[in-house]
Amino acid sequence: MKVYIASDHAGFELKKAIKEHFTNQFEWTDFGTDSSESVDYPDYAHPLAEAVAADNDSRAILICGTGNGVAITANKHADVRAALCWNKEIAALARQHNNANVVVLPARFISQEDAFAVVETFFSTDFEGGRHARRVEKINLH
């Protein structure tokens, strides 16, 4: 599965660990950053979100210190539904009820083990559709 991934400096080490842990499951397109040197998170979240918006079947991972900055940035793009997840239950509901296509991880507030569980759950859970589809269709402003 092709997966987009990006982080700021605070999420860089977790991004590296995720890419290594899931190396046999995912084909990565990495939008950066490439070090722990301080950067501006929108410079990485916007290009990833543009790629997700252009590819309806894609999924992605965004990581920053709290997850809030990259989530807010990504959700400015139509057809991007970025969900901040810190445990696998929230990740499952983000997929089942919200058809989230970007999982956002708060690097400073989640263990590496929990991050792996969130990613595994996010990518193995399907959207339920039904009454949730109607709600998801109302997200984008037209």
Q: pLDDT of 38-49, one tens digit each?
A: 999 999 999 999
pLDDT tens for each residue of 79-118: 999 999 999 999 999 999 999 999 999 999 999 999 999 9
CB neighbours of 93 closer than 8 A, spacing ≥ 6? none
Residue 29 CB burial class (10 angstroms; 0-12, 13-18, ≥19): middle
What is the reported pLDDT for 142? 59
> Catalytic annotation on 97?
yes
Domain assignment of residue 142, yes or no: no
pTM confidence score: 0.96
Number of structural domains found in the chain: 1
Instruction: Show the domain range for 8.
Output: 2-137
Among 64, 77, 85, 132, the active-site one is 64
CATH number at residue 28: 3.40.1400.10
Active site residue 77: no
- Res 139: pLDDT: 87
Residue 73: phi, psi to the nearest 5? -65, -50
- Residues 6 or more apart in contact with residue 15 via CB below 8 angstroms: 5, 6, 7, 30, 61, 63
Band (pLDDT 50/70/90 cuts) for residue 141 is confident
Q: Exactly one of 21, 46, 97, 132 is catalytic; name it.
A: 97
